[in-house]
Amino acid sequence: MSLEKLLLHRNRIGDRGAKALGRNSNWKCRKILSLGSNQIGDDGAEVIGQNNTRPNLEKLVLSANRIGYKGALKILKNDTCIQNLKELDFAENKINEERTRALKSFNKIVKF
């Protein structure tokens, strides 16, 4: 199945739901995956970051979750996941200022 947008903002899917989405390779989200305000932590973000089936993703919204440096870095290190991203939103997560600077230098498309 192919989707242009998957908007799951404010559904409280947590790490469990994020892991299910991250492990799913049957569908390819073409442009936008919005998972803001879902209580996703590093564990869920890491699995999302391991997914290699979304090379055309242009926007990934993970704002207002519980993601720390470890989870954010896992996503940024997945070249397939970020190769075509124009926007990656980590605003309002658990990433301190020092780590935020480090992540911004890693990739310029990141919003905090």
Confirm whether pTM is higher than 0.75.
Answer: yes
In 3D space, the residue among 30, 4, 110, 16 whose CA is nearest the CA of residue 63 turns out to be: 110
Mean pLDDT across the chain: 88
User: Could you tell me which residue, 110 or 36, shows the higher pLDDT?
Assistant: 36
Question: Residue 81 — pLDDT band, cuts 50, 70, 90?
Answer: confident
pLDDT tens, 44-78? 999 998 988 888 889 999 999 999 999 999 998 88
Q: How would you write 14-69 as a 3-class SS string?
A: HHHHHHHHHHCCCCEEEEEEECCCCCCEHHHHHHHHHCCCCCCCCEEECCCCECCH
Range of the domain at 32: 2-111
Q: Give how far the C-alpha of residue 107 lies from the chain's centroid of Cα atoms, to the nearest Å.
A: 14
CATH number at residue 45: 3.80.10.10
Count the domains in the chain. Answer: 1
